[in-house]
Structure 1
């Protein structure tokens, strides 16, 4: 049985995630952007977390770590490469680590690019990926600590997951990402239709997530480095996939 997930807003545009195994009742948080909305979500669902999975060290993902640890006594797990920057961390994980969770297993994928030690959490039995600030709906994270070649490899790896994998991301950036995506992939009918749906969702203040790997492969320009139309628009028909990705990222930075 797949995990149950409660997604909710924190801060101005962060997503908070509560995850529960329906058979065992085990509950985990993915990142801790802000205490108050997390407490409200716990109260609303009745799900009390014993585990906090941290994806990376940025303040808008770890701000509530210590307060939640004090309140619930939860165990904080995060990337070994960023352990000195994560408040309250108890255990560290790296590529290949697994975490038992209910009747599922959480696999740790190292996905650097946004930060040098960023990890994503993948539950293969439930078909769920928590990508935080590596992969966004129609976008990817800014390259704050690594070059484009590093993020390219991380995105390539995530894009190889099963197309029906459900993807949860760290931020509600989809509307701005859609508007940019149309500048580099303007004739993509699937993207055009998705952009209209996103406009409608945001007009009603509704979330645009989760997404799926398959939907991103069809519409996200940061994963479509092999698409002939994008390559032609960029004037990069003979470029490597990594070079195409780097140019799309450069254009988004200046959008």
Structure 2
């Protein structure tokens, strides 16, 4: 049986996620951006989390750690490389480690770039990945602590997951990301159709997530550094993957 997901908004544009194993009823929270909407989601669903699976140290992902730990006595997991900056952390995680939500086993993937210790969680039985601020719908995270080649290697890891993988990201940035993607890849019909759907969802106040890896591979410029059309648009037909990715990231930073 797959994980059951309750996704909800926190802060201004963060996503909160409760993940429940339908067989055992065990629940985990993916990051803890803000206490109030998390408590509302717990009350709405009746799902009490036993753990927080932390992706990285930024305050908008760990703000509610200590309050929730005090209230529920839950266990906080997080990246080994940022353990000193994760409030209330109980267990550190590194590449290849596993975590469990009930009988659902998740694999830890180190995905540095946005921060030096950022990790993602892949639950293959459910076909779900939680990528937080590494891979966004139609985007990737800003490079606050690492150089472009580091983020590129992290994205290559995520791009190697099965195409049907359902992706849950950390923020509702998709509409702005779509506008930027069209400046890099303006003739991509799949991207144009997706951008129109996104505009429709946002006009109705509906979330644009989750996404799928298949959709990202077809439309996300940060996963399409190899595409000859994008390379041509950038005037970088013969450049390295690293140079193309760095140029796309630079343009997004300046957009």
TM-score with structure 2 setting the length: 0.99
1:222 aligns to 2:222 (yes or no): yes
- Matches of 1:50 and 1:125, distance apart in 2: 20
- Unmatched segments (≥5 aa) in structure 1: none
How big is the shift at 1:135? Answer: 0.1
Superposed counterparts of 1:89-108, under 5 Å? 89-108=89-108
Superposed counterparts of 1:156-195, under 5 Å? 156-195=156-195
* Residue equivalent to 1:213: 213
How big is the shift at 1:33? Answer: 0.2
* Residue equivalent to 1:40: 40
- Unmatched segments (≥5 aa) in structure 2: none
- Matches of 2:83 and 2:171, distance apart in 1: 23
After TM superposition, which residue ranges in structure 1, 4 or more long, deviate above 3 angstroms? none
SS at match of 2:201: helix
* Residue equivalent to 1:121: 121
How big is the shift at 1:101? Answer: 2.2
* Residue equivalent to 2:71: 71
- Matches of 1:245 and 1:208, distance apart in 2: 24
How big is the shift at 1:243? Answer: 1.0
- Matches of 1:148 and 1:28, distance apart in 2: 32
* Residue equivalent to 1:247: 247
- Matches of 1:85 and 1:118, distance apart in 2: 12
Give the number of equivalent residue pairs: 255
* Residue equivalent to 2:49: 49
RMSD: 0.5
How big is the shift at 1:242? Answer: 1.4
Provide Cα deviations, 1:49-99, integer angstroms capped at 9, x if missing partner.
011000000000000000000000000000000000010000100001011
Provide Cα deviations, 1:101-143, integer angstroms capped at 9, x if missing partner.
2222110000000000000011011000000000000000000
* Residue equivalent to 2:202: 202
SS at match of 1:222: helix
- Matches of 1:34 and 1:103, distance apart in 2: 27
How big is the shift at 1:181? Answer: 0.1
1:147 aligns to 2:147 (yes or no): yes
- Matches of 2:75 and 2:38, distance apart in 1: 16
- Matches of 2:142 and 2:126, distance apart in 1: 28
